[in-house]
Amino acid sequence: MISTFILLSDLGLGLMLGDPSGISGKLWDNHKSQAIEAGISWSIIDDSLFIIGGWNKTLWKTSQSGFSLNLYPGIGAFLGIRNHFSIGPNIPLGADFILRNIPINISLEVSPGLSVIPKTSFKLFGFLGIRYVFESPDL
């Protein structure tokens, strides 16, 4: 099942700009109804390296002739690395703007989270994502 998801998926690679900022990747299913995303980034606020990953499910979608707009919630996790590790869950909430004739994806995401290790603390991630989309081959 996982190999089928990957085979019938579009892959977006690019940047996430905000806090944290870094490199971002997103893998959509062929209907763009769900996606897996990950990023490695630096937080200016926390002065830490973050690895963030999650799964998103499209709840609302509209399509026009040149683009589609998808709104999604998700579930994910993060790992922060500095003098110590911080680990916890997060809830990505976002919008994907997908252009049809140009292989570009623009997304806006806010992701509240809760660090549970080494201590409990609230986290808030937010970024603008810009990705080049490699479309899956037509089978």
Is residue 124 a part of any domain in this protein? yes
The CATH number given to whatever domain includes residue 46 is 2.40.160
pLDDT at residue 139, rounded to an integer: 46
Average pLDDT, the chain: 91
pTM reported for the whole predicted model: 0.86
More confident: 9 or 2: 9
pLDDT in tens, 40-85: 999 998 899 999 999 999 999 998 888 899 999 999 999 999 888 9
List CB contacts of 75: < 8 A, sequence separation 6 or more: 54, 55, 89, 91, 92
The total number of structural domains in the chain stands at 1
Structural domain of 22: 2-134
Is residue 139 a part of any domain in this protein? no
What's the burial of 28, exposed, middle or buried (CB within 10 Å: 0-12/13-18/19+)? buried
